[in-house]
Structure 1
Amino acid sequence: MNNISNIDAIPKEYMDDPDFQSKLKTVLVGDAIGCEKIYVNIDYVKPGAESVKYHSHSRQEEFFLILSGQGVLRIDGKEISIKTGDVISKPAGKDIAHQFINNSEELLQILDVGTREKDDIITYPDEDLMLIKDKQLVFNIVDNVKEWSSEPNK
């Protein structure tokens, strides 16, 4: 089934903060038109705000297009200036941490497309946390178990 709509006709239930009261608004375009294997979002990031917490995915592939504005892409330990028209890919399984920061005076608008992956683990290196997305379980990385082995005969 093909679903066709206009971005201005996306219902409010497919918007995170539809009235844009906070620093970030996300429109779940793909969900609104029935995408199943990929997500397609448009993120609107106000000046001085961040798109997401700095994070990486274990399985998810992502693609970004800067629709308007400028800012900084924090990726894999580096900060790179981004502007309207820039395209960015984040390959699957590379555990590349990333985050967009709007350090300008204008709205930053990002097309965010990615695969929906079962058992994707999201790591937040600034907080030393891991999230098992499907199960909504969060673990503290620094509280790992020492001297443990899967070997049954030790």
Structure 2
Amino acid sequence: MFVGSVKNLEEIKVNAPGAVNAFKKTLIGPQEGWEGWVMRLFSLKDGGKSPRHSHPWPHINYILRGQGVLFVDGKETLLGEGSVAYVPAGSLHQFSSTSNEELDFICIVPEEGDK
């Protein structure tokens, strides 16, 4: 069993090409006993965005707060608090904040996606 607080977790700046004001906290993964999967919290601050990229694993996402856009394979979809999204493996995708408020979202990926 694992119980923790997001307030106590280290926030890491995403240093990938194309990332702007993007930060990550690893919430639960193999270290906490969830073998094979990782749940992360991403915060896109001040017009932030994730890199536009693709990879061979899917994303499962839940938007906690803020407003944004999800780009997947040439299509943009508006996101807001309570939105859910599934990004299939191999899809070109990017999350972008579209407001002054942070866009915070949960992202679950297979363990290989969090290396």
- Aligned pair count reads 108
| Amino acid of the structure 2 residue aligned with 1:89 | Y
The CA RMSD measured in Å over matched residues stands at: 2.2
2:111 to 112, 116, 130: 116
Report matched runs for 1:138-149 at 5 Å: none
In structure 2, the residue matched to 1:57 is 55
Structure 2 runs not aligned, ≥5 long: 14-19
Q: Which has the larger radius of gyration?
A: 1
Question: Would the aligned equivalents of 2:43 and 2:105 in 1 still touch at CA under 8 Å?
Answer: yes
* TM-score (norm. length: structure 1): 0.62
**Deviation per CA, 1:61-103, whole angstroms, max 9, x where unpaired?**
21010100011111111111111100001234xx111110112
Identity, % of aligned positions:
27
In structure 2, the residue matched to 1:84 is 81
Q: Secondary structure at the match of 1:88?
A: strand
Structure 1 runs not aligned, ≥5 long: 121-132, 135-154
Deviates more, 1:108-117 or 1:24-33: 24-33
Question: Would the aligned equivalents of 1:72 and 1:101 in 2 still touch at CA under 8 Å?
Answer: yes
Considering Cα pairs closer than 8 Å and 6+ residues apart, tell me whether 1 or 2 has the greater RCO: 2
2:28 to 24, 30, 33: 30
Report matched runs for 1:120-139 at 5 Å: none
Q: Distance in 1 between matches of 2:46 and 2:99?
A: 6
| Amino acid of the structure 1 residue aligned with 2:46 | P
Q: Distance in 2 between matches of 1:106 and 1:5?
A: 25
In structure 1, the residue matched to 2:70 is 73
Q: Distance in 2 between matches of 1:47 and 1:8?
A: 20
Instruction: Give the structure with the larger strand fraction.
Output: 2
